[in-house]
């Protein structure tokens, strides 16, 4: 019987983790011609000027062209893009950083400070579920931050509409050690045995359910330890079984790349890319990043988020900003970051389709409330009733 080709494999094992095949992928050169909208390619990573992307995306055709280029980079290219100046308003980033710092101090004082997935306890300051914490605590800050059009551009390109944002704040303090190399959610958070139990097509599917991102909340010179990446490593099919193996760890340690970032820059990457937060060797830089894990409407986000509470907290801000003349696109971006955009799962006996194939989503309800200038009480009642219908 002839051997089964790599393309036809149904199951993956550690025996498929061929370091020479891995090297052939990750040692290829990123061709600038494949990234015509980029400013340049640096250390195999395309760097984009966000203002240029905004200008290119004014028309529908231009937006689609930019999104196609980003998807090619994340899927078949190096697996990572740097978007310079994605959050161009330093005041917005600073106000959000102030909220993050307040949350960190409160959690320290209460004894609920959190550790990290891939680093020793105490190396980093981490705020889990930062998305809803910021929305409820500082809805004006949340709205200005998550109205960001570049975030929408790349999230919609990779995941399509009704994507779900989650956020974790990560601060690596001076002396903080590097993370261990890893792939990310979903299969990246499973043991070797559990990951190997999923067929090969699920290994190919897992990365397209999530977009990983990080927004720099301070300048990050290399000595402060910005994230380590291995471009093109997302294309190695058995990578979810390879990243823990010593020979792959050693290769990553010897060949990763690292790029300095400025405040407001954003990095987005395929979650299957081999990566790890770097060692902060600086004397005084508390390296702060907002880690964005953005999920497909058809997947499961890592964090549970109280989007009902977020929607109620954000609603007065949305009404006021609409009366002040912000665009519908601005409002929709904030709603997309805060509310559940997908109608399922639900109890179809209690929550049947009305004008189509699905009942209204939470985001649909919030948008209607903004468009029709509902009272806050009415929105709270409608959201609560919708939640009850979904629970059955």
- The predicted-structure confidence for 200-237, as pLDDT tens digits, reads as follows 999 999 999 999 999 999 999 999 999 999 999 999 99
Question: Residue 17 is encoded by which pair of tokens?
Answer: 């983790």
Rounded to 5°, the CA angle 274-282-83 comes to 45
In 3D, which of 194, 197, 257, 207 has the Cα closest to residue 237?
Answer: 207
3-state SS track over 151-184 = HHHHHHHHHCCCCEEEEEEEEECCCCCCCCCECC
* Three-class DSSP category at 374: coil
118 has a pLDDT exceeding 70: no
350's tokens: 């209690």
Report if pTM > 0.85. yes
Mean pLDDT of 52-70: 98
CB count in 10 Å sphere of residue 244: 17
CATH 2.60.120.620 placement within the chain: 14-295
The answer to whether 347 and 392 are in contact (CB under 8 A) is: yes
| Tens-place pLDDT, residues 84-109 | 999 999 999 999 999 999 999 998 88
Four-residue CA torsion sign, 348, 352, 356, 358: negative
What pLDDT is attached to residue 274? 98
Describe the crossing of helices 307-323 and 139-146 by its angle, rounded to 10 degrees.
80
193 alpha-carbon distance from chain centroid: 26
The H or E element containing residue 202 is helix 200-205
Q: CATH homologous superfamily of domain 14-295?
A: q2cbj1_9rhob like domain (2.60.120.620)
Q: How confident is the model at residue 142 (pLDDT cuts 50, 70, 90)?
A: very high
* Torsion angle (degrees, nearest 10) of CA 221, 226, 231, 233: 160
Start-to-end CA distance of the chain, whole Å, equals: 53
Q: What is the CA radius of gyration of the chain?
A: 21
pLDDT at residue 220, rounded to an integer? 98
């Amino acid at each position: 019987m002839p051997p089964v080709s790599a393309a036809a494999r149904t199951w993956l094992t550690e025996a498929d983790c061929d370091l020479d095949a891995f090297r052939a992928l990750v040692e290829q050169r990123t061709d600038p011609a494949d990234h015509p909208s980029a400013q340049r390619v640096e250390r195999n990573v395309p760097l984009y000027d966000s203002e240029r992307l905004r200008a290119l995306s004014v028309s529908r055709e231009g937006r689609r062209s930019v999104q196609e280029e980003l998807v090619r980079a994340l899927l078949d290219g190096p697996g990572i893009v740097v978007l310079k100046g994605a959050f161009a308003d330093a005041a917005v980033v600073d106000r959000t950083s102030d909220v993050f710092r307040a949350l960190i101090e409160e959690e320290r004082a209460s004894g609920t400070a959190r550790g990290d997935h891939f680093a020793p306890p105490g190396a980093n300051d981490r705020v889990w579920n930062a998305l809803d914490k910021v929305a409820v605590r500082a809805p004006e800050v949340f709205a200005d931050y998550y109205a960001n059009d570049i975030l929408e551009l790349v999230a919609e390109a990779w995941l399509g509409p009704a994507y779900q944002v989650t956020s974790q704040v990560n601060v690596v303090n001076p002396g903080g050690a590097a993370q261990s190399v890893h792939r990310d959610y979903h299969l990246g958070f499973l043991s070797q045995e559990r990951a190997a139990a999923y067929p090969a097509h699920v290994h190919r599917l897992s990365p397209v359910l999530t977009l990983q991102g990080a927004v720099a909340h301070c300048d990050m010179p290399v000595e402060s330890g910005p994230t380590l990446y291995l471009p093109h490593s997302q294309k190695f099919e058995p990578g979810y079984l390879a990243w823990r193996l010593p020979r792959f760890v050693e290769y990553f340690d010897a060949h990763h790349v690292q790029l300095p970032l400025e405040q407001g820059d954003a990095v987005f990457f395929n979650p299957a890319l081999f990566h790890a937060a770097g060692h902060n060797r600086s004397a005084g830089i508390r390296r702060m990043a907002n880690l964005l894990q953005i999920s497909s409407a058809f997947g499961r986000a890592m964090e549970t988020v109280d989007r009902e509470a977020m929607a109620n907290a954000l609603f007065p801000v949305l009404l006021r900003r609409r009366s002040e003349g912000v665009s519908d696109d601005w409002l929709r971006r904030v709603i997309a970051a805060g509310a559940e955009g997908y109608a399922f799962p639900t109890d179809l006996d209690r929550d049947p389709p009305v004008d189509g194939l699905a009942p209204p989503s939470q985001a649909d309800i919030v948008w209607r409330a903004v468009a029709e200038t509902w009272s806050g009480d009415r929105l709270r009642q409608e959201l609560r009733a919708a939640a009850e219908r979904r629970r059955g």
